[in-house]
Structure 1
Amino acid sequence: MGPYPVVLDLGGRPVLVVGGGAVAERKVEGLRAAGASIMVVSPRVSARLAKMADDGDIRVRLRSYRRSDLRGVAIVFAATDDRNVNAAVAADSRRRRIWVNAADDPDHCDFILPSVLRRGSLLVSVTTGGRSPALARIVREELERLLGSDYALLTDLAGDVRRELRTRGEQATAEAWTTALRGDVRRLVAAGRREEARRCLLEALRPA
C-alpha cells in the first residue's frame, strides 16, 4: 500500500514545531506560507526563528518539550537533532491521536512532506513515500525548469474565468477546459497578453 495524497488547509490552525534549528526553520517557513498558527518549543532557536518571533509571525517557548505542549494542537512536527526526543514527541502525539511528522524518521511519521513546487496558486508536490527525499528534490527541480512563472498567471486566469462563468450561470465540461488550456491561451499568457488570453479562454469554453 502507498500513501494517500492530500492537501491540508492549515489556515489559522494551531501547529506545534518541536526544535529550533535549520530543520525546524524549514518546517516553519512552509507552515507560515500555509497561514498556520505556529508554536515553536526549544531551549534555543536560530536567529531566523527568533526574528520571526520578534515580528509576531510565530510564538516561541524557550524550554524543552513537555507533553502539555500538545494541548489543543492540530498537527505536530518533531524537528530536533535528537532522535529520542523526536520519538517521544511522536509517541505522545499518537496517544492523543494527533498527526505527527518526525524529521528523517518515517517510522514515527503519520504523514510525510513532499518536495513542493509553487507557481502562485499552482502547487505541485513530489514524493517517494520517504524512500529517497533526494530523488524527490531532483524531480521537483526538473519540473521547475518545465513549469515557468507564466503558470502562476495561467492559474489565476483560469480561476477568474471559472468564477465569471459561474456568475453567468454557465458551466464548461472538464473536456472543454482541458482543450482550451492546451490551446492558444497558454501562448498568450506567456507573451503577457492577459486580456487576449481571457477572451480566448472564454470563447473556447462557450457552449457549442
Structure 2
Amino acid sequence: MTYEGRTPPYPLFIYLDGQPVLVVGAGEVAERKIATLLDYGARVRVVAPEATERVRAWGCEGAVSLDLRPFASGDCRDALLVVAATSNEEVNRAVHAEASAQRTLVNVVDVPALCTCIVPSIMRRGQLQVAVSTAGAAPSVARRIRASLERQYPDYWERYIDLLGEVRLLVKERVPGEAARRTPLFEALGAAGIEGRLAAGERLSAEDVYREVVEPAIRKADQ
C-alpha cells in the first residue's frame, strides 16, 4: 500500500550535532521545528521576512543565524537538511525545487508530496528514541501511539538506558577476547530486571550492576 502514490519512506536516524540546517519560515510552526533542531545540536540558519519573538531572541543570542528577508535562490547551498515551514505554497515549492536539485534532504511541513524526508512523532527517554510515522496519512494516530509509548516507558527508562550503556563499556574494557564471548553477558544484562529496580527507586551504579549481574554471568560462561 502507498499513500499519495508514494513508496513508504525509509526509516533513518540522523546525527545533526554541528550540522548546517536551513529553516525557511519563522512563525509558530517554524519556531517549534527550530527548537527541536537546536535540542539535537543542529547549526540552524533561519530565513524569513518576519519572525516570532522567540526566534528573534534566538537570533540576538546567536543560537541561530537569522536573515529577516524572503527566501532567495542559493539559500539551500551547503545545508545538510532544509525545512520549509511557511504557509506560502509558492515559497514551499521553490524551497523544495532548489533543495531537490542539489540533492539536499528537504521537509516541507504538512506537505508530504514536497518532502524527501519526514519528521516522525518521537518518544524520547534520553538515548532511547522510538519514532512513529504514518507517512503523513494519519499524523493524529502517530501522536496517539507516541503518547501510549510515553506511558509504557516512563521517565526512569532514561536512567535505565544510560546505566546499560555504562555497564556495556565496562564489559568491553574488562572482558577480553572475541565479541561472541561478550554477547551472553549483554543478554544477561538485559534480562536482569534492572528497570524494575530503578522504577522502585533503587539507586544503582554501573559498578553495582557489573558486580551483581556481569561477574556471575562470566563465571557461568567459564564453567
- Give the TM-score of the pair, scaled to structure 1: 0.92
1:43 corresponds to which of 25, 45, 49 = 49
Paired position in structure 2 for 1:125: 131
User: Share of identical aligned residues, percent?
Assistant: 36
Deviates more, 1:65-74 or 1:144-153: 65-74
Q: Secondary structure at the match of 1:68?
A: coil
What corresponds to 1:181 in structure 2?
Answer: 190
Note if contact 1:176-1:204 (Cα within 8 Å) is conserved in structure 2. no
Shift in Å at residue 39 of structure 1?
0.2
Where does residue 91 of structure 1 map in the other structure? Answer: 97
The equivalent of 2:203 in structure 1 is 193
- Contact kept? 1:14, 1:75, Cα under 8 Å: yes
Unaligned runs of 5+ in 2: 1-6
Is residue 188–residue 214 contact of structure 2 (8 Å, CA) maintained in 1? Answer: no
Cross-structure match for 2:3? none
Cα distance in 2, alignment partners of residues 42 and 143 from structure 1: 35
* More off after superposition, 140-149 vs 64-73: 64-73
Per the alignment, residue 31 of structure 1 pairs with 37
Counterpart residue number, 1:202: 214
Q: Distance in 2 between matches of 1:109 and 1:26?
A: 18
Cα distance in 2 for partners of 1:47, 1:192 equals 43
Provide closer, same or farther for how the CA distance between residues 205 and 38 of structure 1 changes in structure 2, counting only shifts above 3 A.
farther
Q: C-alpha separation between the residues in 1 aligned to 2:212 and 2:93? A: 55
How many residues are aligned here?
207
Rounded to whole Å, the distance in 1 between the matches of 2:53 and 2:100 is: 31
Which one has a bigger Cα radius of gyration? 2
Unaligned ranges ≥5, structure 1? none
CA gap of 1:176–1:166, structure 2 versus 1, over 3 A, is closer
CA 1:169–1:91 in structure 2 vs 1: closer, same or farther (change >3 Å)? same
2:74 aligned counterpart, secondary structure: helix
Query: Residue 115 of structure 1 contacts residue 137 of structure 1 at CA under 8 Å; is this kept in 2?
Result: yes
What SS does the aligned partner of 2:75 have?
Answer: helix
Which residue is 2:27 aligned to? 21
Report the TM-score when normalising by structure 2: 0.86
Give the Cα separation in 2 of the matches to 1:60 and 1:78: 15
Deviation at 1:204, TM superposition (A): 6.1
Give the Å deviation of 1:179: 4.7
For 2:212, give the aligned amino acid: C
1:6 Cα deviation after fit: 0.8
Deviations 1:5-29 (A, max 9, x none): 1110111111100001111112111
Q: 1:205 to 1:155 in 2, by over 3 A?
A: farther
> In structure 1, what is the Cα distance between the partners aligned to 2:174 and 2:16?
32
